[in-house]
Homo-oligomer: A and B are copies of this chain.
Amino acid sequence: MRATIQLLAVLAVPMTLTAQLPSSHTLMPVPASVVLSPAELRIDSGFTVAIVRHRDPRLERAATRAIVRLEGRIGIPLARTIGRERSAALVLDVAGAGFPVPDEAEDESYQLHVSASQAVLTAPTVVGAIRGLETFLQLQDTDGRGWYIQGADIRDTPRFRWRGLLLDVSRHFEPVDVIKRTLDGMAVVKLNVFHWHLSDDQGFRVESRIYPRLQQLGSDSLFYTQEQIRDIVAYAADRGIRVMPEFDVPGHSSSWFVGYPDLASGSGPFEIARTWGTFAPTMDPTRESTYKFLDAFIGEMASLFPDHYWHVGGDEVEPKQWKENPAIQSWMKAHGIANEVALHTAFNKRLFAIVQKHGKIPVGWDEIFQPDLPTAAVIQSWRSSDALAASAKAGFRGILSAPYYIDHQKPTSDFYLADPIPATTDLTAAQQALVLGGEACMWSEYVTPETIDSRIWPRLAAIAERFWSPGSVNDVADMYRRLDVTSRRLGEVGLRHEDHVRRSVRRIAGDSAPLFEALLDYVRPRDFGGSGANQLVPHTRLIDAAVADPRDSWNLTGLARQAGAGNAAAVATLRTAFERMTGFHARLLAVQAGIPAANDGLQVAAALADLGRLGLDALGFLGSRMVPDGRWQANADSALAAIAPNRIRQWQLRPVPADAVRLLVEAAKGLPPPHGSP
């Protein structure tokens, strides 16, 4: 399935120009430098792999996984034995093991040369080779004769050293198999930090043997055993992924207090939180017993998580209990602490000392960045890019998350275009070097093990490209072209996002599932996409079936621009889409008598019908170059105003094609006046 022939405007290095110029590649993330060649390395049952220099079990396992994925594609078994001959079809030439556990300072670079006779992957470390193997697999294509690897010369290294995904398993727990396939997907797109948000008000998710009431009373029996943690950390390490745990303190910690109420600043008993937001229960920073507990606990956990970083949380500290507790207030007075923000910093200083004693570097959310904070800490900015810049200017290392909240059901392009260091930055080179990278955040208020893949993927792949590829790689249309292929390939490692809509609507709508599936081609959920007002909601409604960026709508705005410029193919494609959109409302009404979920779709279907009709009208005006009359224009304006973003904020489901139709309506309104008019 050769990709559409299309030149890439975004390549850092121009492609070799020959008479047999190959089609553009579908690599994601785009390498730092890639030169395609017309050569094709054919893959058949004789395919062999060799390791010729440094060799270790992790590299062997990575090579075996690549072989297994390749044989899954071609449908026939390949030799699993990994030889030592320089004549093998794929030669891994690796200088050394790199760090024994994945490390922030790891050299992840690699070079890949694919000719018609051989692919040679050269890397300074095993992790570099692991990254290069993914590129190798992404170069695989097919033609009538079979399978091949596209010829190429690639020199690649990441732009940022810290490229992460935060996964919140507190608000909703995710079982081990979900974690593993998420790690597999991360490896496909070269992400390297799994930030595991393991505790929050809604659940404490790790087995502690020292303080077993943490999981016994704080988790609804949904937690990871220490054996499972070790297994997952090893699984991640095998893929060159660091695992950074987060135990959020002193706020967001209700679940700790169910088993250990003495840690809290107020009096118990405490309960696991079931709803969302910030909660009053907060750790008591004025008692020595708190630090004794944290010391023992962090000591226990430090041996489970070999990563050098330890995330302390520190966000949204609710001062209510501190203010209302006379003992805390008098302690503050006695210690000259002016307010609750200063009390948080005092807590952090003690906490950081404990974290550092156990060999870890503390990381915390924006709010820890206060006067007097030791600069050893790393600041993760969740509130804004400006906050990141401010902490960099103050000499702190930072990670950007603010624009990458993928629990928000925004289109991929919104995330893709946000840059940790935008071209317009006023940071000095030294300050820029303090920006370690970014992390996408998957908060889990509105996701379950059934829906999570569809909430993370495929959008995370585009964010991974933002973190890895040169900043100049920012063509949205080309990103979507490659994302389409990448999304499908992610299914290969077990991710289920591409089945999500159909599987969900089948359950909701039975025999009428195709109607609902078609509707969701043009619909996205509201920003916090999910039906859940609390932890017990099943998340099996139409909003949970919908996805943020339905594939059939990726290109509507681009098509509208082309149609406005007279492109006939774009007009035809849009016409088909608009005709489909106009029909959903009547079809939902027709099945409403048997399917309660039809009600959930009526509002957005009515909006789609309006948009479809407007779009068809506008295409008609543009085609005939007839200026629409004032009445039509007024009608169009009021119809579009009715679905303006601020008007539909409360809608569960939102029409995606609004921007495209708005463009066409404006184009129709702007037609030159008819001949003969003044």
Does B71 contact A2, Cβ atoms closer than 8 Å? no
Check if A142 sits within 8 Å of B76, measured CB to CB.
no
Task: Flag if A503 contacts B499 (CB, 8 Å).
Answer: yes
| A residues 476-491 touching B (CB-CB < 8 Å) | 485, 488, 491
For the complex, is A327 an interface residue (Cβ under 8 Å from B)? no
Q: How far is the CB of A521 from chain B (nearest CB, A)?
A: 14
Given A488-B507, A491-B506, A498-B503, A144-B594 contact (CB < 8 Å)? yes
Q: Are B502 and A80 in contact (CB under 8 A)?
A: no
CB contact list, A113-161 vs B, under 8 A: 142-147
| B residues less than 8 Å from A594 (CB atoms) | 1-2, 142-144
Give the shortest distance, in Å, between A555 (CB) and chain B (any CB). 14
In the docked arrangement, what's the CA distance between A537 and B68, Å? 10
A596 at the interface (CB under 8 A from B): yes
Residues B71 and A538 in contact, CB atoms below 8 Å apart: yes
Shortest A386–chain B CB gap in Å is 39
A531 at the interface (CB under 8 A from B): yes
Is the CB–CB distance between B596 and A531 below 8 Å?
no
A414 within 8 A of B: no
In the complex, what residues of B have CB within 8 A of residue A2's CB? 594
Contact in complex: A498, B506 (CB < 8 Å): yes
Say yes or no: is A637 at the interface (Cβ < 8 Å to chain B).
Answer: no
Known: A72-B540, A506-B498, A540-B75. A1 touches B143 (CB 8 A): no
Which residues from B are CB-within-8-Å of A595? 1, 142, 144
Flag if A75 contacts B144 (CB, 8 Å). Answer: no
A554 to chain B, nearest CB (A): 14
Contact with A75, one of B503, B534, B541 (Cβ below 8 angstroms)? B541
Q: Is the CB of A592 within 8 A of B507?
A: no
| Contact call A596/B537, Cβ cutoff below 8 A | no
Contact of A77 among B68, B77, B512, B536 (CB under 8 A): B536
Interface residues on A, range: 35 or more
Is A430 in contact with chain B by the CB < 8 A criterion?
no
Tell me the chain A residues, 552-592 only, with Cβ under 8 Å from chain B. Answer: 592
Q: Which residue of B lies closest to A598 (CB)?
A: B144
Give the docked Cα–Cα distance between A511 and B488 (Å): 10
Q: Nearest-CB distance from A276 to chain B (Å)? A: 14
Known: A499-B503, A536-B77. A146 touches B596 (CB 8 A): yes
- CB of A509 within 8 A of CB of B1, answer yes
A592–B144 contact, CB under 8 A? yes
User: CB-CB < 8 A to A294: which residues of B?
Assistant: none
Q: Please give the distance in Å from A530's CB to the nearest CB on chain B.
A: 11
A341 at the interface (CB under 8 A from B): no
User: In the complex the two chains form, is A144's CB within 8 Å of B593's CB?
Assistant: yes
Is there an interface contact between A1 and B511, defined as CB atoms closer than 8 Å?
Answer: yes
Using CB atoms, name the residue of chain B closest to A176: B177
Q: Which residues in chain A, 496-544, are within 8 Å of chain B measured between CB atoms?
A: 498-499, 502-503, 506-512, 531, 534, 536-538, 540-541
Bound CA–CA A73/B492 (angstroms) = 29
Q: Which residues of B contact A76 (CB under 8 A)?
A: 537-538
With contact pairs A1-B511, A147-B596 given, residues A77 and B503 touching in the complex (Cβ less than 8 Å) = no
Also in contact, A491 and B509, with CB within 8 A (given A145-B596, A594-B1) = no
Complex: chain B residue closest to A600, CB-CB: B75
Does chain B have a CB within 8 A of A597?
Answer: yes
Complex Cα gap A177–B176 (Å): 11
A509 vs B588: C-alpha distance in the bound complex, in angstroms? 32
Q: What is the chain B residue whose CB lies nearest that of A533?
A: B77
Min Cβ gap A288→B in Å is 40
Which B residues are CB-close (under 8 A) to A541?
75
Which residues from chain B contact A509 at a C-beta distance below 8 Å? 1
**Contact call B506/A488, Cβ cutoff below 8 A:** yes
Q: Tell me, rounded to whole Å, the shortest Cβ–Cβ distance linking A80 to chain B.
A: 7
A447: min CB distance to chain B, Å? 15
A471 to B596 CA separation, bound complex (whole angstroms): 37
Pick the contact of A1: B1, B71, B512, B536 (CB < 8 A): B512
CA–CA, A593 to B145, complex, Å? 8
Report the bound CA distance from A595 to B1 in whole Å.
6
Is the Cβ of A75 less than 8 Å from the Cβ of B597? yes
| Residues A593 and B143 in contact, CB atoms below 8 Å apart | yes
How many angstroms between the C-alpha atoms of A177 and B499 in the bound complex? 19
Residues of B within 8 A of A1 (CB): 509-512, 594-595
Whole-angstrom distance between the alpha carbons of A71 and B508 in the complex?
Answer: 12
Q: A71-B538, A80-B536 are in contact. List 12 more A-B contacts (CB 8 A).
A: A1-B509, A1-B512, A1-B594, A68-B538, A74-B596, A75-B531, A76-B537, A144-B593, A144-B594, A488-B506, A491-B503, A499-B503
Which residues of A does B touch, CB under 8 Å? 1-2, 68, 71-77, 80, 142-147, 177, 485, 488, 491-492, 498-499, 502-503, 506-512, 531, 534, 536-538, 540-541, 592-597
Can you name 23 A-B pairs with beta carbons within 8 Å?
A: A1-B512, A2-B594, A68-B538, A71-B540, A75-B538, A75-B541, A75-B597, A76-B537, A76-B538, A142-B594, A143-B593, A144-B594, A144-B596, A145-B596, A146-B596, A488-B506, A491-B507, A492-B507, A498-B503, A499-B499, A499-B502, A499-B503, A502-B502
